[in-house]
């Protein structure tokens, strides 16, 4: 059969045509009704050849979609390998056996709490955890190594306590602010997170719509499931979006992305600098393995080649050689303010000021990259006194992200000198559990908390927040307690209260 | 039907009259045998219209009583809406279906431990937790956000250790003291807590009676379930009471309340300054929701309007604009000493001295307002050295409240310089579980502990307590330990002691 | 019936005689075959009248014995109330219904691990906990209030770490030492603990015998179950014993006790100064209550009068007015060295030097008196630098007790400057579980550990131990961690290792 | 029967010959087809006579092998007691009754995860724990006393956090380094651990082969299950091995061992200085006891003589008198660099420099010797600043071992100044679970982690690692938290998230 990819009027391919190419010697797959020859691409596939071969000669759309942005094949597969349209009526439907795990999940979805039962950001996470697909939950919720930094991110806020001021007139509380020149209703933005369609079929555009409703800035991720333009198109007039950028080894590609974003109206460029290589996330890897390989009995190390989890599958293009000497080039190709995302010590903040970028995000990538990286809030407490000492505090805008779950977390960051904070996973979870209404309510809850807590700390506006309002003596101590003597603990009879005459207990609150 | 509220001789309304007005278009309810038209009030009801509509056309007394002080309707509902008496014999009794939860609760009440099995304040809480109604327990026991401050309040005392003195003659121990000029048997007072009838049908007057028996001062709450006058009336000759005040937006109301209290013999005015808005208490909100809405299947955000918990329902009148500039006015309208309740940092204590108030309570409102507010005892340790440095320690009386459960907690506060401490929830729990005998025993237990521990620390009288008797090196460190590596913990086999030949274990102590 | 207590040849009383006096109006009891009229004593009984009335008109020996030293009745009950011998053949045997709790305990005793399975002091406690009577276990194992000091006592040692020296010749390790002039095989002594017969029918003489075997000093408790003379008599030639003294309000009694002890050969007098009143131990009180009153249904507070636990029952004679001004008198009535037991801060150690006593025990009474008293080892770290600064370190011998379970604990105390340490509960537990062989093995295990650890720290003899061998930076910080956010913890999926294909787990080590 | 051990052509012994000598009066055993008369050796056997007598008159090979190196009998049993070959066809096979524990173990082995499911070093431990024999697992996994140091070793790394540098070109990451003059692919070595055949029948040679594949240095243990020469023979050309030495009381033996090793090509001599006596490991002792003695009913202390665990059985030859004055002798008998293994404070490091050794390992013997010895990483943080202050940092190479499980642990040690780190147990576990492929994968995983984390900390080569990259403020605090008040904890209702309508939960990740 002749398949000339230039002939757009040509006869469609049939399922039978494709089905012949079902091995690593000749591997075709169907995606969205079009066939692709990926034989040569197999060894290069970041996710490993195995996962593709599973769909060799078949329709791979369902597997492909949530992990790959729609323009992936155009970008990464040479046009000569695009084989053209397939007559989908001739493609044998995959008879999926009933998946007991999916059946149980559907059962859980039926039993979901209603949206109004979510009173804080953690509640969405609790629901998402139960109703998301296992692999999707694993991708969103996983972190690097032992996930210690991931958990420390929130835990660090617990070391900061308030010194509230009383008898301040807080009848009218205004927590709107300005970030990078944009007026916004509250000092947080939706930070960039990858693969939104894993959580919800509509993907990142849901966040765009919620952000508009609440006048919140959205940062568009390089690794979105929706294409960049889809996300821009979903924005309303006047809505501000920023671009998060993984720098491509091919700077021409990078330049094209940046300038396209600027033309489309993006207002700032956040260059990710904490990910020369995407992290190992074992929870994610283990979940992928279980998914694909759980019935394999082999114990031989060589014969098995498995997925490394979603993170590895999508990140091979990132340039690990990116360095300070590249920054002037970025400043030269765009007028957007440039912010370094992922700065982790004061020395690098000072250098960022010196090279002339406009901001930094103190971030450890949500605990997904280097385990034992410190939390953004802890680094902030290290950075600001040095900046103030040099009188540089207004030369650069400082943001943090990681672990923010409560308005009190935001207030702590602002007291310490942050201009704003990024929030990522919580909105993903709200979206995954309840779609747009979920994200809407999540943002509204943050506003409710913000109003309450601004009042209670005695601040009528953002400018009133200052370092004297927080007690940070505990911050910066990384305390791990002495392992306990289990023999001693085992012989201790804990004190108990008065016993009921029968053992019937009240239900838990 | 004609119902002229001026005609006091008129024919009583019947159940059938009321039953017609059972919608939001016309909503009448019966409370204590009198009917009220609350149609126009529906949207303003702090607890939401839903909860009222549940009783539209019916007798709402049982729901109304424990949350609202008896004079609520007189105060907040225009007289024209008071429809007059109802012939209750004509009102259809609500056939309450048997409530399985209530049935289980009655079962638990039957199995209550006897009073003598309570050996400390926590024991009353343990019993109350089992025998109180779920919503009442939720209201009393809940705190702000993650309830971290609520728990820290007691936990902070665990960071203070004693440096007891030996060989002091402690045969005669006297722990009576003077607070705001009043001689009292022990340096604590019953602090103000809202809605006493949630716990016991008689409400706050039980606390009044117990306080009299033990010669303890009681602070009367603005949000009591009993009316202010009922509580005053329950006092015996010479018994001292103080007034806690939420400042009303309408200062005329505020003035009336203060001057009425002073006339009735109140000896001090505690102005609450940590609650420009009453806190979000999610445990309380969740319990209310479950109560009302658990069988609603809707997932739409807009259609549902639910109770925000008891706290929101009762606090809309509080003035969030209250500020330092209002203090001179308070000083001008009363001769009672004025104490600011809810001060949380040394700067505001100094300012309190400067504006001429007579005392402050270092308090975070029992952890019910701003989460991550520091405990009163920690703030005390910050405040006293500064006061002493300025020689101001006698210009103002310093009280603390929050988390006090043991006489040792009281002693620690007094060593650090407090004049006295407020205790709230423990007496509510004792009252809820056992009524007046419960509160009586709770106070007696505190006295027993106090006598014992004064002896053991080597202090024969209150004046002997001083800062050298406590070791506070650990206070002020807000330690959150590094999240653990669960992989490492999971592979560790804890040491165990010698194994019994069979597995039968002894019963727990 | 005529019963003249002077007539020693008189006819014995019969069971029927006694049985008539079975009420609070006339209450006789039999103890060890003799009858006593305790009617007037009822209200004074430290353990309450209730427990006596249970045996009114009956034989109370079995209940009396383990709590009261044999000379109790002679000492405390006026001779006129001693009614003379009873013909025990006429006394109705109490038919004890089978006690299911006791039956279960006998079952547990059958399943006891053999002695060789105890490898450390905690192991004896683990066995004792299972095989002791509940009330006895409760008395031994309980502490003051929340038992925080009791547990801190051992926990404090966990804050001290070693700085061992290598390449020291430790082929021959000698850990014998001298305490108060007595050569002993190891720097610990058996400290005084009350009511040994609760754990073992032979009581404290078991400790005497084991101490002799290992050349260890025993301190004889005032509140022993064996009489003082029984314990002295059990000692071998040359065996050294010390006397622990609760000072009686009646100094004549005190003097008699001291001088009797000195005559009998006691080598030192330890005056307890941390117990002007014996502590409230709620675990003990609760266990007594359950024992006596668990089937009482009354909820009325006044009708019930119950035991306050063993501690209260035995301590009413202690003088709470004892003070520094009494010390010269003690020095005047004996030539034994005098040691103050229960000193808890450096100020009082300095004063002890000044008044001329020979030693102090830094102790909090095993955590049984004042909760939040600091551990002896922590106070030691406070005391020694001050003594050394003044050059007073040889003017007084410093001992500590509390929480010592390992030879490493002893070594830490000696490194910091203690002359020796007291060990109490562990030997009680070894005795309760296994009798003399248990105590013997417990002491041998300590010696094995001591030899090993002296070698490993690089010390061939006691004098080699010094402060540079310990790292005490963590000591003295009383860390209580920030309460956790349970919402956050609940949504975290802990990392897990590779899953077995089936769930069968290995048995625990 | 005549059995002249010089007559090598003689008639073989029969099973019947041996079987007669089955008591402590005459005790013969067969090992590897040869008979030995161990009657006189019985009382000297470090593992006790009991375990030998179990095999008196029988073939003891299976019990002997995993604990004893093959040359043990030649070394320790006089030649006159070597009775010559046995005709094994005449030896009655031991009918082993089916061992239910072993049967369960075989079941667990069938259900082992496949190798690719191990993603980190802890995963091998998790598998080994399930599939190893109980006694073997107990020997490998046990530590001294309460195993607090053993666990602290890893836990200490959790107190060190990173200060990563961004925008460093890390495209090419090189983590090869040089230790004691040897170029190696990564800065860790396989440290010495005893009794490899307990985990795998091939023993230590598996580690040799894996080390070669990854160009890693192996340290050969004195107490290997394979003989020294077997391990040397397993090495490939150019592969570097070091010798770990327990110093024998007989220095002639010691000298012979050292010089033999040097001749065979060993490149360094690590003298163990933290084990004048091998530690008490109660978990190991308890597991041995259970194995041998669990059906013994005697409670008498004297009649029972049991194994003290493997550690005691193999270590009686170690010289506890070894001291600094011996070091010059070691320097005189070999040209190999000499490293002291087990140094634990800065004073001894300084002394090591002064006596002229070439390196030290800051180590506490994997937590198997002195409990509460500090972790190597903590001691490193104490040592390096002092060395640098004196300008001695290049006079000696500093290694650490203990608790290393992640590449981040290695990086932390190198940032603080270590030249390399030793890893022991993790490779034993990998070997025990999966043999050579297990160790291979374990090393590869470390390399993968190393590459990733070098990039993420911003270091392209080992020399880039420096102290400014770590935050060690938390290191050195030995925090034990205040014991909790269980009464207070018990009455707290933890916050919970929204409830599902039914209770079905998702499976754990």
Each residue of A298-315: pLDDT tens digit? 333 333 333 344 555 556
Interface probe with A: pick from D497, D499, D502, most Cβ of A within 10 Å:
D497
Contact C381, C342 (CB under 8 A): no
The bridge status of strand A82-85 relative to strand A420-423 is: unpaired
In the prediction, which pLDDT does D406 show? 97
- Quick check: D499 and B290 CB within 8 A? yes
Q: What's phi and psi for B22, nearest 5 deg?
A: -120, 30
Q: For residues C424 and C332, give the distance between their C-alpha atoms in angstroms, rounded to a whole number.
A: 30
Q: In whole angstroms, how far apart are CA C194 and each of B345, C281, C361, D22, D352?
A: 48, 14, 18, 52, 52
Q: In whole angstroms, how far apart are CA A485 and each of A492, C105, D126, D144, D146?
A: 11, 27, 22, 12, 6
ipTM of the complex: 0.89
Q: Which residues of C are catalytic?
A: 246, 274, 365
Question: In chain C, what residues touch B162 (CB-CB under 8 Å)?
Answer: 344, 370, 372-374
**C355 shares a domain with C430:** yes
C283's tokens = 């675990």
Q: For residues B170 and B377, give the distance between their C-alpha atoms in angstroms, rounded to a whole number.
A: 26
Contact B209, B490 (CB under 8 A): no
- Quick check: A111 and D169 CB within 8 A? no
Q: What's phi and psi for D347, nearest 5 deg?
A: -55, -45
Contact D481, C480 (CB under 8 A): yes
- State the alpha helices, DSSP H only, in D271-406: 282-293, 310-313, 327-333, 346-355, 376-390
Q: Is D485 on the interface with B (CB under 8 A)?
A: yes
In the prediction, which pLDDT does C309 show? 47
pTM of the shown model? 0.91
Residue C509 falls inside a structural domain? no
State the smallest CA–CA distance between residue A46 and chain C in angstroms: 24
B347-398 pLDDT tens trace? 999 999 999 999 999 999 999 999 999 999 999 999 999 999 999 999 999 9
Contact B135, B51 (CB under 8 A): no
Q: For residues D363 and D355, give the distance between their C-alpha atoms in angstroms, rounded to a whole number.
A: 19
In the prediction, which pLDDT does B467 show? 97
Beta strands of A249-368 (E only): which ranges?
Answer: 269-272, 338-343, 359-362
Size of the A and C interface in Cβ pairs below 8 Å = 66
Residue C237 falls inside a structural domain? yes
Q: Is the pLDDT of residue A494 over 60?
A: yes
- At D436, the pLDDT band (50, 70, 90 cuts) reads very high
Find, among C90, C202, C160, the residue nearest to C414 by Cα: C160
Find, among C310, B225, D151, C406, the residue nearest to A483 by Cα: D151
Find, among A397, A75, A114, the residue nearest to A260 by Cα: A75
**Cβ neighbour number for residue A9 with a 10 Å cutoff:** 4
The bridge status of strand D269-272 relative to strand D241-245 is: parallel
Query: C128 to chain B: nearest residue by CA?
Result: B506
Question: In chain A, what residues touch B298 (CB-CB under 8 Å)?
Answer: 114
Average pLDDT, chain D: 88
**B75 shares a domain with B125:** no
How would DSSP label each residue in C61-93?
HHHHTTTS-TTHHHHHS-GGGEEEEB-GGGSPP
Q: Can you give the residue range of the structural domain that contains D236?
A: 121-289+314-471
**B227 shares a domain with B81:** no
Question: In chain C, what residues touch D283 (CB-CB under 8 Å)?
Answer: 509
In the prediction, which pLDDT does C42 show? 80
Average pLDDT for D474-498: 87
Average pLDDT for A337-344: 98
How many residues does this entry show for chain B? Answer: 509
Q: For residues C26 and C42, give the distance between their C-alpha atoms in angstroms, rounded to a whole number.
A: 10
Contact D454, D175 (CB under 8 A): yes
- Quick check: A134 and D509 CB within 8 A? yes
| CATH code (residue C51) | 3.10.120.10
D359's tokens = 């390196």
Question: In chain C, what residues touch B499 (CB-CB under 8 Å)?
Answer: 113, 117
Q: In which residue are the tokens 């209404």 written? A: A437
Residue C486 falls inside a structural domain? no
Q: Is the pLDDT of residue A296 over 80?
A: no
**A363 shares a domain with A467:** yes
**B251 shares a domain with B137:** yes
Query: B482 to chain C: nearest residue by CA?
Result: C481
**C179 shares a domain with C317:** yes
**B344 shares a domain with B208:** yes
CA dihedral B231, B233, B235, B237 (to 10 degrees): 160
In the prediction, which pLDDT does D63 show? 80
Size of the A and D interface in Cβ pairs below 8 Å = 207
Question: In chain D, what residues touch B125 (CB-CB under 8 Å)?
Answer: 491
Contact C360, C270 (CB under 8 A): no
Supply the DSSP symbol for C356: T
Residue A174 falls inside a structural domain? yes
What is the rounded end-to-end Cα distance, in angstroms, of chain C? Answer: 69
Residue D134 falls inside a structural domain? yes
Residue A490 falls inside a structural domain? no
**C402 shares a domain with C336:** yes
Q: What is the 3-state secondary structure (H, E, C) of D249-280?
A: CCHHHHHHHHHHHHHHCCCCEEEECCCCCCCC
The bridge status of strand D188-190 relative to strand D217-220 is: parallel
- At A200, the pLDDT band (50, 70, 90 cuts) reads very high
Contact B488, D154 (CB under 8 A): yes
Name residue A35's beta-bridge partners: A30, A84
Q: C425-457 vs C407-416: helix axis angle to the nearest 10?
A: 70
Q: In which residue are the tokens 């101590």 written? A: A477
Supply the DSSP symbol for A97: P
A57-84 pLDDT tens trace? 999 988 887 777 777 787 778 888 999 9
A166-184 pLDDT tens trace? 999 999 999 999 999 999 9
B319-343 pLDDT tens trace? 999 999 999 999 999 999 999 999 9
Look at A105-119, B21-35, D284-298 and tell me which has the smallest mean pLDDT.
D284-298
Beta strands of B227-368 (E only): which ranges?
Answer: 241-245, 269-272, 338-343, 359-362
In the prediction, which pLDDT does C74 show? 78
Q: What's phi and psi for A57, nearest 5 deg?
A: 80, 10
Q: Is the pLDDT of residue A4 over 60?
A: no
DSSP helix/strand/coil, C346: helix
Question: In chain D, what residues touch C163 (CB-CB under 8 Å)?
Answer: 344-345, 374
**C84 shares a domain with C163:** no
**B134 shares a domain with B45:** no
Last residue of a domain, one of B71, B90, B109: B90
In the prediction, which pLDDT does B491 show? 82
| Overall number of domains in chain A | 2
A243's tokens = 């671009």
Is D119 part of the annotated catalytic residue set? no
Last residue of a domain, one of C41, C71, C90: C90
- At A502, the pLDDT band (50, 70, 90 cuts) reads low
State the smallest CA–CA distance between residue C353 and chain B in angstroms: 14
In the prediction, which pLDDT does C79 show? 86
Most confident of A95-99, A213-217, A484-488, B224-228: A213-217
Q: In which residue are the tokens 């030998």 written? A: D52
Long-range contacts, stretch B498-502, CB < 8 angstroms, 24+ apart: B498/C113, B498/C117, B498/C118, B498/C119, B498/C123, B498/C126, B498/C127, B498/D286, B499/C113, B499/C117, B499/D290, B500/C108, B500/C111, B500/C112, B500/C113, B500/C130, B501/C110, B501/C111, B501/C112, B501/C113, B502/C107, B502/C111
Question: Residues 436..455 of A with a Cβ closer than 8 Å to B: which?
Answer: 437, 440-441, 448-449, 451-453, 455
Contact A160, A412 (CB under 8 A): yes
**B84 shares a domain with B191:** no
Average pLDDT for B199-206: 95
**pLDDT < 50 regions, chain C:** 1-5, 7-8, 291-309
**C163 shares a domain with C33:** no
In the prediction, which pLDDT does C489 show? 84
The bridge status of strand A338-343 relative to strand A269-272 is: parallel
**Cβ neighbour number for residue B93 with a 10 Å cutoff:** 8
Average pLDDT for B62-84: 80
Find, among C386, C390, C385, C421, the residue nearest to C406 by Cα: C421
Q: Is D207 on the interface with C (CB under 8 A)?
A: no
Contact D80, D336 (CB under 8 A): no
- At D309, the pLDDT band (50, 70, 90 cuts) reads very low
Question: Residues 372..401 of A with a Cβ closer than 8 Å to D: which?
Answer: 372-374
State the smallest CA–CA distance between residue C508 and chain B in angstroms: 7
Residue D100 falls inside a structural domain? no
Residue A215 falls inside a structural domain? yes
Q: Is the pLDDT of residue B178 over 90?
A: yes
Q: For residues C347 and C325, give the distance between their C-alpha atoms in angstroms, rounded to a whole number.
A: 16
| CATH code (residue C446) | 3.20.20.70
Average pLDDT, chain B: 88
- At A289, the pLDDT band (50, 70, 90 cuts) reads low
Find, among C345, C406, C353, the residue nearest to C160 by Cα: C406
- Quick check: C495 and A282 CB within 8 A? yes
């Amino acid at each position: 059969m002749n398949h000339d990819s230039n002939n757009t009027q040509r006869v469609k391919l049939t399922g039978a045509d494709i089905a012949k190419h079902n091995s690593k010697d000749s591997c075709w797959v169907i995606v969205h009704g079009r066939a692709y020859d990926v034989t040569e691409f197999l060894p290069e596939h970041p996710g490993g050849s195995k996962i593709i071969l599973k769909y060799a000669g078949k329709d791979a759309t369902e597997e492909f979609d949530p992990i790959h942005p729609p323009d992936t094949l155009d970008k990464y597969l040479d046009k000569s390998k695009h084989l053209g349209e397939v007559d989908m009526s001739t493609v044998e439907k995959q008879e999926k056996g009933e998946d007991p795990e999916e059946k149980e999940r559907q059962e859980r979805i039926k039993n979901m709490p209603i949206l109004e039962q979510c009173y804080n950001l953690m509640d969405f996470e609790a629901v998402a955890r139960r109703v998301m697909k296992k692999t999707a939950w694993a991708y969103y919720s996983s972190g690097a190594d032992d996930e210690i930094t991931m958990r420390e991110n929130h835990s660090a806020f617990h070391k900061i306590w308030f010194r509230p001021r009383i008898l301040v007139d807080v009848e009218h509380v205004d927590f709107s602010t300005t970030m990078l020149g944009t007026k916004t209703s509250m000092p947080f933005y939706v930070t960039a997170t990858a693969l939104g369609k894993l959580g919800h079929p509509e993907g990142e555009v849901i966040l765009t719509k919620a952000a508009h409703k609440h006048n919140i800035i959205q940062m568009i991720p390089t690794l979105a499931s929706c294409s960049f333009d889809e996300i821009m198109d979903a924005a309303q007039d006047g809505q501000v979006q920023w671009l998060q950028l993984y720098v491509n080894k091919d700077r021409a590609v990078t330049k094209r992305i940046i300038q396209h974003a600027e033309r489309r109206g993006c207002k700032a460029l956040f260059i990710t600098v904490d990910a020369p290589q995407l992290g190992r996330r074992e929870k994610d890897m283990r979940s992928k393995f279980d998914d694909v390989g759980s019935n394999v009995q082999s114990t031989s190390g060589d014969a098995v080649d498995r997925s490394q989890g979603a993170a590895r599958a999508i990140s091979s293009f990132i340039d690990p050689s990116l360095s300070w000497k590249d920054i002037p080039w970025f400043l030269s190709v765009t007028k957007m303010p440039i912010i370094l995302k992922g700065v982790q010590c004061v020395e690098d903040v000072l250098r960022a000021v010196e090279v002339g970028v406009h901001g930094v995000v103190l971030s450890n990538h949500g605990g997904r990259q280097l385990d034992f990286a410190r939390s953004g809030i802890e680094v902030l407490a290290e950075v600001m006194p040095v900046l103030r000492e040099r009188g540089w505090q207004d030369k650069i805008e400082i943001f943090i992200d990681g672990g923010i779950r409560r308005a009190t977390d935001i207030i702590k960051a602002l007291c310490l000198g942050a201009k704003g904070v990024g929030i990522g996973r919580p909105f993903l979870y709200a979206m995954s559990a309840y779609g747009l209404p979920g994200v809407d309510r999540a943002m509204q809850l943050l506003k409710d908390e913000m109003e309450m807590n601004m009042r209670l700390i005695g601040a009528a506006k953002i400018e009133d927040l200052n370092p004297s309002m927080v007690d940070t003596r505990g911050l910066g101590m990384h305390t791990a307690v002495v392992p306990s003597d289990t023999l001693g603990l085992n012989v201790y009879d804990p004190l108990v209260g008065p016993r009921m005459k029968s053992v019937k207990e009240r239900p838990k609150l």
